[in-house]
């Protein structure tokens, strides 16, 4: 296990990780799996950004709804070590 805390994944990384048609998908998956011993974190801003970008047909070529994007994010949150950082951190 790593000696540092969770990795806060940014919107760009989450989109690359989730969508196989993304140019950086393969690299994101490799990094994510190589670092799965360390928890990953999301926050309201990264999750909302992921959903917003995932619904853009110029980014994700298939039509994606907010519900489908949230379901995909939920799958990652439940299958891997995840920490949610609320926006009330000081």
Q: What's the pTM?
A: 0.86
Mean pLDDT of 11-38: 95
Where do the DSSP E strands lie in the chain?
Answer: 7-8, 40-42, 82-84
Has residue 15 got a pLDDT over 60? yes
Tell me the per-residue pLDDT of 39-77, one tens digit each, with 9 for 90 and over: 999 999 999 999 999 999 888 877 889 999 999 999 999
Has residue 90 got a pLDDT over 80? no
Q: How confident is the model at residue 1 (pLDDT cuts 50, 70, 90)?
A: very low
Burial 38-70, CB ≥16 within 10 A → b, else e:
eebbbbeebbebbbebbeeeeebeeebeeeebe
Percent of the chain exceeding pLDDT 90 equals 78
4 versus 44: which is more confidently predicted?
A: 44
């Amino acid at each position: 296990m790593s000696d540092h805390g969770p990795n806060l994944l940014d919107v760009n990384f989450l989109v690359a990780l989730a969508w196989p048609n993304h140019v950086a998908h393969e690299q994101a998956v490799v990094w994510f799996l190589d670092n799965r011993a360390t928890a990953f974190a999301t926050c309201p801003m990264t999750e909302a950004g992921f959903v917003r970008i995932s619904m853009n047909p110029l980014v994700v070529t298939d039509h994606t709804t907010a519900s489908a994007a949230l379901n995909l994010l939920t799958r990652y949150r439940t299958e891997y070590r995840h920490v949610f950082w609320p926006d009330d951190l000081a």
